[in-house]
Structure 1
Amino acid sequence: MELWLKARRRNVRTPGGGSPDPLGIDGVEALRAGLRRLYELAGRPPVREMEERAGTGRLPHSTAHRIVGGRTVPRDIHQMTGFLTACSVAAAEHPLWIDAWRRALGQDTPSPPAPRTAAGAMGLVGPVVRGGIEAAAAGAGYGPTGSVTPGRPVQVPPGASAGLRFALLGPVRAWYGGRQLSLGSPQQRAVAAALLLREGRTAAAGELIDAVWGEQPPPQALAALRTYVSRLRGELRREAGHALLVSESGGYAIRGLGEGALDLVQAQDLGAKAEKARGTGDLARARALLGEALDLWDGEPLAGVPGPYAQTQRVRLEEWRLGLLESRLDMDLEQGCHAEAVSELTALTAAHPLRERLRELLMLALYRSGRQAEALAVYADTRRLLAEELGVDPRSGLRELQQRILRADPALHESAATRPAEHVEVRVRPAQLPVCVADFTGRTEVTARLVGLLSAAGRTDVPVAALWGTGGVGKSALAVRVGQAVRRFFPDGQLYVDLRQEDAAGALGAALRALGVAGRDVPDGLAERSALYRSVLDGRRVLVVADHARDAAQVRWLLPASAGCGVLVTSRRRMLDLAGARLVELDAMSPREALALFTRIVGERRVAAEREAARYVVAACGFLPLAVRAAACRLAARPAWTVAMLAGRLADESGRLAELEAGDLAVRPVFERCYTALEGEQARAFRVLSASADPFLSVPAAAGLLGCGPQRAEDALEDLVDAGLLIPVGPAHYQVHVLARLFALSLPAP
């Protein structure tokens, strides 16, 4: 169905000629016609699909329906860019359409951009076709080389006079000694932004191409990327006096920035300090720190930067800004500044009408200001809006506040300024997810599936995703990556529990302490700890990552009961008995993904010279990520070795497992842990089946090898699948992984 929809959008033929030209739009009617034409060229996608494509909260499906019907136009830039994204308009074209939207509504716009070439309309880039780049740059307010357009004011951030400074919380800019630097065209700025957002971690060339151009890069994308990197490297070296943009293992990174050189890092540090100050009860300092952090924003983050990566980061950074703003306003009310907060909250709820937390704060501020009727009117308006736009009722916290206002609950008038200091609540926001693997490769499809499952938190019951697969397949690395990707859906924190190191009681105790419960208040009993854990999580939106789970019984104690939380479990076993869990299998990598991971660690130059040998190496590793990583790390640590030399060492099957060790990266211990957990008959079945010349086994073939009936053979095969030693490959068929077979052959004969 997805392929059919794509074909329909590409081959659609509608009356009225080609793509509409945003430069010719001079009024609201022309804008409506242009947006309708974009919708038709996109294949008339369903409005709910448009809502998903646009990103969370940017384009409600009811609004999309009114826009494509010609009854309205987007109300702000976020909604406009959401509509363009939903209609598959190239990111390089967005600035031109935003200017057209401003002209149609009579807002101030930059000077008219230069005419687009055919190449620019297609979004092509490269040394020859640069019209699209220059037109997009002009539409964003920059000249063709990225210099600031004359007549437009340049705002220098605080402290910019001291050394090199970068800004991402607004237009992407750089300063040195108070002088603004040229970062080039929008695509070049997108490369700079992608590298800066990684905060020193290496980005592969393929990742940067995907970040700037998405799934359909132009043929000369790699050459264009190298050109952009070369220009940025020269500009930064000229100012800093040394190389800040470095090449490493086929990728690039910006390193060696001074303290406070990036506004995003400054905002993160200030936010962390504010959270710590609030935890100690120092609300005045926490408010001041949050005010400093919010002052670093200069409009829309990454403004004018094209590409899907920038779009995703814009949504994340805007969500984070609103979270900081909500925290600061919450502290305003805690300190009795409700009258001053009313006007700000009124404006914010108008700009973000579906954000219930802002509406709750506005109701409380109005009530404390003696405006009870207006507070209740806010609730009525919220209930009507949610019913019309989403077909849902307000969340329980908002309904409870309405009832307390109706009862004139005297506790609503209490704030930190009127409560004794010993009653100030300490609310801790854990952020326990480990660091993502820097050279994580592939897994796009399963990542998208897990993100989709967990992002439904709050709209359904607590989503539980159970990721399972054989040892060494990369479950933990994927879980951490997914957890980092969905952090914005869980603003109250992320818990990480390694169940290989802790039993359920120990894991609950650690989680309670991380959530702010004093150690002396943690009960001893497992049931009591679980009950307190659910109570602490009630009303919060927290992600729980339970890594290396042994079985479902171990996980059940860690499941929250509050909607809005989410759980991601990794295990070698299929959690068939974990109620409500969505099982997601993680298989070995595809040959292409495995070769890409090997290349990222070893380096493009060494692999390109011996590509066939590299293919043999990853095949000898069975495309298992742990094995591929161990082999690649051994080779990377030995510059004198060739890839062919490593391939020759792996060709000896009797010593292959010994070769796949690099520090604490080792394949044999993974299979040993799986094997020692087997019972006697299961262990014998594994050795017998692994000794078969055919690695692919049907149930009848397994029955013949084991000397038993088909049903008993199928039970034995399924037990080995649950133990992580067999891989199901279809109905009644199973595979013994090549490395598991080698491990079994090293065991005593059955």
Structure 2
Amino acid sequence: MHAQILRGHLHLPRRPAQLPPDVVDFTGRAREIARALQALPGTVGITGMHGSGKTALATRIGHLAAHRFPDGQIVVRGHDVAGELLRAVGVENATGDKAALWREKARGKRFLVVVDDLPSPESVRDLHTLGSAVLFTSVRRWNELPGVTWLKIAGLAVPEAREFLRKVLDPARIAAEQEAAAEVLAQVSHLPNPIRVLGGKLSARPTWTVAMLLKQMDRELVLGEAVPSDCRAVLAPLIKADEQLTEEQRHLLTCFARQKADVIDVAEAVRLSGGGIGRIDTLLESLADVHLLEPLEFGRYRMPRFVQMFFGLRTLAPSS
């Protein structure tokens, strides 16, 4: 070995450790974490709307399970999933069937592969090998993928959302205005990313009350170029979701929000939008697929309050 080192011929196997740091104030999701840990090694998919904390949950699961995958933990953010995996183990500029080459490299080893924001089901379909695990996040649930244990997440449970807010804001300020704090959490549908932004804003303004924050939200949450940076950070998950909608989908959500409709059925959707029942049914299902509507039972859906607020504000936005 000494001689190989001197000649430069010793090539130790790469053991990538690419997991980002764990989120120190991670809160909740105990049931989802337990289910994922039970399913690994295997394929686990985490789905939910933008801002629901899919990446943070995947990171937490990765750290809890890392010791079970001694050959390395690889994180991929991009469209060439197989190519990124090969680069992580030292194979540069691979050509041909990259998935097959990855399976060859991973055979007999235990890797944890985390794919953040899965670009397509085809990009991971042929990557799983015995003993290794694939953990991915995706807004959409790709039902065509076989053997996936799916975790669907939305806003935190109410007690968990309160606990999380106490981690990012002085608990004494929350205790002094519990009703106002509950209203702030409800307005963002208990989603962790907006809670973090709003808690941070209040922490930076020690003379503000929670009620003042609510007033500021009502005043500033108008879409357009004048949206303040912290307000835009709160709305970022829905701004990103909105960019991926068709005009028909956007119009339907705006119609619901204008009516302040919490629960919508297909017949009501037809009346509000003026579309045909077959087309409206398809649009409702497509919006449920990306978690902008919550399916209740056949033909009935609930609009989360955060979504309702965002698309309601579209009607107030200044014209461009």
- Counting only pairs closer than 5 Å after superposition, residues 422-571 of structure 1 correspond to structure 2 as 424-454=10-40, 457=41, 463-498=42-77, 502-504=78-80, 507-517=81-91, 519=92, 522-525=93-96, 528-556=97-125, 559-560=127-128, 562-571=129-138
CA RMSD of aligned residues (A): 2.9
3-state SS, counterpart of residue 728 of structure 1 = strand
3-state SS, counterpart of residue 116 of structure 2 = strand
Higher relative contact order (CA 8 A, sep 6+): 2
Corresponding letter in the other structure for 2:94:
P
Contact 1:541 1:564 in 2 (8 A): yes
Q: 1:437 to 1:618 in 2, by over 3 A?
A: same
Q: CA separation in 2, counterparts of 1:743 and 1:551?
A: 27
Q: What's the CA shift string for 1:220-255, capped at 9, x where partnerless?
A: xxxxxxxxxxxxxxxxxxxxxxxxxxxxxxxxxxxx
The percentage of counterpart residues that share the same residue type is 33
Q: CA separation in 1, counterparts of 2:52 and 2:299?
A: 22
Q: CA separation in 2, counterparts of 1:656 and 1:609?
A: 31
Corresponding letter in the other structure for 1:631:
L
Query: Which of these two proteins has the greater Rg computed from alpha carbons?
Result: 1
- May I ask how many residue pairs the two structures share in their alignment? 315
Question: Residue 199 of structure 2 is aligned with which of 632, 637, 649?
Answer: 632
Q: CA separation in 2, counterparts of 1:661 and 1:472?
A: 16
Aligned to 1:170: none
Contact 2:194 2:235 in 1 (8 A): no
3-state SS, counterpart of residue 718 of structure 1 = helix
Q: 1:737 to 1:652 in 2, by over 3 A?
A: farther
Contact 2:295 2:301 in 1 (8 A): yes
3-state SS, counterpart of residue 486 of structure 1 = helix
Contact 1:494 1:544 in 2 (8 A): yes
Q: CA separation in 1, counterparts of 2:213 and 2:315?
A: 28
Contact 2:14 2:89 in 1 (8 A): yes
Q: What's the CA shift string for 1:408-459, capped at 9, x where partnerless?
A: xxxxxxxx89xx97764531111111111111111111111111111xx2xx
3-state SS, counterpart of residue 137 of structure 2 = strand
Question: Residue 212 of structure 2 is aligned with which of 638, 645, 670?
Answer: 645
Q: 1:660 to 1:543 in 2, by over 3 A?
A: farther
Q: CA separation in 2, counterparts of 1:619 and 1:693?
A: 15
Aligned to 2:139: 572
Q: CA separation in 1, counterparts of 2:281 and 2:220?
A: 29
Corresponding letter in the other structure for 1:503:
H
Q: 1:742 to 1:441 in 2, by over 3 A?
A: same
Deviation, 1:656, is: 9.3
Aligned to 1:158: none
Contact 1:703 1:713 in 2 (8 A): yes
Question: Residue 699 of structure 1 is aligned with which of 263, 266, 278?
Answer: 266
Aligned to 1:16: none
TM-score w.r.t. length of structure 2: 0.87
Q: CA separation in 2, counterparts of 1:592 and 1:646?
A: 21
Which deviates further from its counterpart, 469-478 or 576-585?
Answer: 576-585
Q: Does 1:602 align with 2:178?
A: no
Q: CA separation in 1, counterparts of 2:183 and 2:25?
A: 21
Deviation, 1:607, is: 1.8
Greater helix percent: which structure?
1
Contact 1:617 1:650 in 2 (8 A): no
Unmatched 5+ stretches in structure 2: none
3-state SS, counterpart of residue 576 of structure 1 = coil
3-state SS, counterpart of residue 74 of structure 2 = strand
Q: What's the CA shift string for 1:573-608, capped at 9, x where partnerless?
A: 111122222222101112211111111110222222
Q: 1:696 to 1:476 in 2, by over 3 A?
A: same
